[in-house]
């Protein structure tokens, strides 16, 4: 069979390699006919079948009549199985996004294989498979259409390809991808799961030699725009940092495609969305926006980035062009009164310094000199009159691109949409929720030299409040309250984010975060009672309900009062102005569950919560019974209600009889399928009586006229 000696030059041509002894056999390299020359597809074996090898020492005693000698063979090839699931972050509600895979193939597939594994299977950097030519990309055209939740499977056979990572790899910000001793990849803070880490695998690959499967696809976004996408998925023992493909193995790789939300860099119309995805398009502008269909009822900030691509004039020059962004309905000329915008120029995004009227106060600046930092230029706080007064006239703007340097003029300009609370002046009557609402953004591209225009729209959907009605028994009170639809600390929001912002990475918060003037087991009862008296709620003590006790936080204003007390009664320890529209470091992260909820209220210019005229209600951490009612009603709506622990505003009670607070614990709950609330009662055996420093999830509540 065609082959050569293991030490033959890389460009040596296969020939009939003469094997004269056992050592020759061990040094033999099998060089089969290429499948591309045989007309075989990548998911088919060579025409000669699966090459296999095996050896066994045969003793003289084995040569007895009628005795079979068994030799176990091992494949010289590996089988690669790739399971790809479309699990988009953004959806349209009309079946989009959708991905149509048009072609798939393999790059860097070896064309030959040693009969005996190099170094007896001991793989290290020196044992990289060298002297092994790699076949150009083998492709197969086969259309597969994927919608949300769909799974497609590919497989192919390859000869072993032993490769180490690229230890000298750099990130796009020029930092090292590996630590000094090459023992670990350096990921952004908070990136812990393999699902997130797999996006970085191509950035540490020896792209010129590591085997990968390449998928070509037409990707239709939830905005109904089509892009040509190429997905490059490197193969190995895992989807994170291994590139070793060994003989006689099967490799199963599970890959989730979230969408095209992670723009990293660009060059001549080719954009890298994560390490695995490059996108080409003939659209003159790529608009990057995340979760515009998942805006919650509280005041919100939504960033949108504009990338000018490079459609050229006939002479190769870049045309002067512009993009107009408007909230005005073209037929009426009127914009919704609850949304406005503010433009941050490409130069400001690059420099990280944003000021107006000579002052940088009130604006979030770039991080540590990093270009195009998430949050750059956003308002620090969503103030009470931001939409109605400060930005009242900001209902449209135009981004220009001018020669000679198109990349430093308009490209990578950012627009922040400031979206007011979807909360009426008074609670809706009856059993109604606050209805959702939609704003349409009208976007028009114009080539100012040819007059060509392209128009599109993007809808921003904002949820309303979800109502919960109490049953009316004594401890639950009788006042309706509402909850938010999303928990933003679990969602990706900024397309420039490198997944290092705590606001999208933490799985919950503490009930209390020790530090400043607060310890993890401070007593709230006496301080809370004094605070209620000072606020004028003296009548509570005459109701016989013990509502001045911090472990009696059930509902109807209790949760709001407790939240107000935990923030304003302890402000010298954790002031609410720490919580901004963007919290990009651990130090800026909302320190407690109370801060997360209370921080959704609109602010004064100094970051304190607005309490002035016209204030109709407040966001707060719900009482224990309010939380239970919310989880009961929306148990099937929110899967997280079925399995996660949630904090209430109630401290724990110290025992069943003793009327005092357990200062080290607070009350969390979890809802079971039968409607029970795990661990929400009193007693030391209850798992819901948890240390206040535990991390649990949070669902913010809203009450009118507390």
- Residues 546-554 have a mean pLDDT of 85
660: pLDDT strictly greater than 50: yes
Instruction: Count CB atoms within 10 A of the CB of residue 683.
Output: 12
- Residues 308-316 have a mean pLDDT of 67
Last residue of a domain, one of 410, 441, 463: 463
Indicate whether 311 belongs to any domain.
yes
pLDDT tens string 478-495: 789 999 999 887 766 788
Task: Look at residue 571 in the predicted model and tell me its pLDDT.
Answer: 62
- Residues above pLDDT 90, as percent of the chain: 31
Same domain, 315 and 453: yes
pLDDT, the chain, mean: 83
- Residues 102-121 have a mean pLDDT of 77
380: pLDDT strictly greater than 90: yes
CA–CA separation, 350 and 412 (whole Å): 8
Same domain, 452 and 428: yes
Task: Look at residue 67 in the predicted model and tell me its pLDDT.
Answer: 67
Residue scoring higher pLDDT (22 or 561): 561
Indicate whether 65 belongs to any domain.
no
Tell me the pairing of strands 15-16 and 2-5. Answer: antiparallel
Residue scoring higher pLDDT (699 or 206): 699
Same domain, 101 and 215: yes
CA–CA separation, 105 and 158 (whole Å): 12
Same domain, 441 and 540: no
Helices (H), 375-420: none
pLDDT tens string 396-415: 999 988 765 544 468 889 99
Residue scoring higher pLDDT (642 or 594): 594
Confidence of residue 268 (pLDDT cuts 50, 70, 90): very low
Indicate whether 645 belongs to any domain.
yes
Last residue of a domain, one of 418, 435, 463: 463
Residue scoring higher pLDDT (313 or 162): 162
Task: Look at residue 121 in the predicted model and tell me its pLDDT.
Answer: 44
pLDDT tens string 130-185: 456 777 677 778 888 999 889 988 888 888 888 888 888 887 667 788 988 888 88
- Residues 540-564 have a mean pLDDT of 81
Max Cα distance, the chain (Å): 105
Same domain, 457 and 606: no
Q: How many domains does the chain have?
A: 3
474: pLDDT strictly greater than 60: no
- Lowest mean pLDDT across 40-54, 75-89, 265-279, 435-449: 265-279
Residue recorded with tokens 């406005």? 340
User: How far is the CA of 339 from the CAs of 309, 415, 581, in angstroms?
Assistant: 28, 12, 16
- Residues 455-465 have a mean pLDDT of 92
Indicate whether 41 belongs to any domain.
no
Structure token digits, residue 339: 């949304």
Q: Find the helix packing angle between 525-534 and 558-568, rounded to 10°.
A: 100
Same domain, 220 and 303: no
- Residues 331-339 have a mean pLDDT of 96
- Residues above pLDDT 70, as percent of the chain: 85
Same domain, 670 and 570: yes
Indicate whether 34 belongs to any domain.
no
Task: Look at residue 66 in the predicted model and tell me its pLDDT.
Answer: 61
Confidence of residue 123 (pLDDT cuts 50, 70, 90): very low
Same domain, 554 and 697: yes
Residue 370: domain span: 295-463
Indicate whether 527 belongs to any domain.
yes
- Lowest mean pLDDT across 53-57, 510-514, 602-606: 53-57
Same domain, 428 and 366: yes
Same domain, 378 and 480: no
Same domain, 557 and 700: yes
Same domain, 485 and 627: yes
pLDDT tens string 77-90: 899 888 888 888 77
Indicate whether 288 belongs to any domain.
no
| pTM of model > 0.85 | no
476-493 residues labelled b (16+ CB within 10 A) or e (exposed): bbebbbbbbbbbbbeebb
CA–CA separation, 523 and 60 (whole Å): 86
Last residue of a domain, one of 224, 251, 280: 280
Indicate whether 25 belongs to any domain.
no
Radius of gyration of the chain (CA): 31
């Amino acid at each position: 069979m065609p082959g050569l000696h293991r030490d033959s030059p890389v460009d040596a041509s296969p020939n009939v390699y003469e094997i004269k002894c056992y050592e020759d056999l061990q040094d033999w390299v099998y060089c089969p006919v290429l499948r591309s020359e045989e007309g075989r597809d990548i998911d088919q074996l060579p025409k000669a079948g699966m090459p296999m090898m095996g050896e066994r020492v045969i003793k003289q005693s084995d040569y007895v009549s009628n005795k079979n000698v068994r030799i176990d063979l091992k494949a010289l090839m590996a089988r690669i199985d790739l399971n790809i699931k479309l699990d988009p972050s953004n959806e349209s509600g009309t079946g989009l996004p959708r991905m149509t895979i048009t072609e798939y193939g393999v790059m860097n597939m070896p064309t030959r294989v040693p009969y005996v594994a190099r170094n007896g299977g001991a793989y290290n950097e020196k044992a990289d498979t060298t002297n092994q030519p790699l076949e150009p990309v083998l492709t197969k055209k086969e259309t597969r259409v994927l919608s949300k939740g769909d799974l497609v499977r590919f497989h192919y056979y390859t000869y072993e390809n032993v490769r180490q990572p690229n230890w000298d790899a750099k990130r796009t910000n020029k930092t090292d991808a590996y630590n000094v001793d090459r023992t670990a990849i350096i990921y952004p803070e908070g990136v812990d799961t393999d699902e997130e880490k797999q996006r970085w695998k191509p950035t540490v690959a020896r792209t010129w030699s590591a085997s990968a499967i390449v998928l070509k696809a037409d990707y239709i976004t939830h905005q109904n725009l089509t892009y040509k996408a190429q997905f490059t998925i490197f193969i190995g023992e895992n989807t994170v940092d291994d590139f070793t493909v060994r003989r006689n193995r099967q490799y199963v790789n599970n890959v989730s495609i979230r969408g095209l939300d992670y723009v990293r860099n660009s060059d001549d119309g080719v954009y890298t969305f994560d390490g695995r995805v490059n996108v080409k398009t003939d659209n003159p502008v790529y608009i990057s926006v995340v979760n515009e269909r998942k805006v919650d009822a509280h005041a919100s900030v939504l960033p949108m980035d504009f990338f000018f691509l490079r459609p050229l004039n006939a002479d190769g020059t870049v045309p002067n062009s512009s993009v107009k962004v408007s909230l005005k309905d073209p037929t009426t000329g009127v914009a919704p009164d609850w949304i406005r915008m503010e433009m941050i120029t490409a130069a400001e995004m690059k420099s990280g310094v944003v000021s107006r009227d000579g002052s940088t106060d009130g604006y979030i600046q770039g991080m540590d000199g990093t270009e195009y930092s998430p949050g750059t230029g956003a308002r620090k706080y969503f103030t009470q009159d931001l939409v109605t007064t400060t930005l009242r006239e900001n209902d449209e703007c135009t981004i220009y691109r001018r020669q000679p340097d198109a990349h430093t003029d308009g490209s990578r300009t950012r627009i922040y949409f400031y979206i007011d609370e979807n909360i009426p002046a008074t609670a809706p009557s009856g059993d109604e929720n606050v209805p959702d609402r939609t704003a349409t953004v009208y976007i028009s591209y114009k080539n100012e030299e040819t007059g060509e225009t392209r128009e599109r729209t993007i809808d921003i959907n904002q949820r309303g409040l979800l109502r919960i009605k109490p049953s009316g028994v004594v401890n639950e009170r009788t006042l309706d309250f509402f909850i938010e639809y999303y928990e933003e600390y679990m969602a990706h929001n900024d397309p420039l984010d490198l997944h290092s912002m705590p606001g999208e990475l933490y799985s919950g918060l503490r009930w209390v975060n020790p530090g400043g003037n607060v310890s993890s087991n401070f007593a709230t009862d006496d301080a809370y009672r004094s605070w209620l008296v000072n606020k004028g709620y003296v009548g509570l003590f005459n109701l016989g309900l013990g509502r001045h006790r911090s472990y009696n936080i059930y509902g109807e204003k209790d949760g709001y009062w407790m939240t107000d007390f935990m923030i304003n009664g302890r402000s010298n320890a954790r002031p609410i102005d720490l919580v901004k529209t963007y919290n990009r470091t651990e130090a800026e992260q909302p320190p407690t569950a109370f801060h997360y909820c209370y921080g959704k209220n609109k602010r004064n210019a100094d970051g304190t919560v607005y309490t002035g005229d016209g204030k109709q209600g407040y966001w707060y951490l719900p009482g224990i019974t309010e939380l239970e009612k919310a989880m009961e009603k929306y148990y099937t709506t929110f899967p997280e209600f079925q399995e996660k622990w949630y904090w209430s505003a109630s401290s724990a009670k110290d025992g069943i009889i003793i009327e005092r607070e357990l200062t080290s614990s607070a009350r969390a709950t979890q809802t079971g399928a039968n409607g029970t609330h795990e661990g929400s009662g009193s007693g030391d055996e209850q798992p819901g009586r948890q240390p206040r420093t535990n991390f649990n999830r949070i669902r913010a509540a809203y009450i009118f006229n507390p």
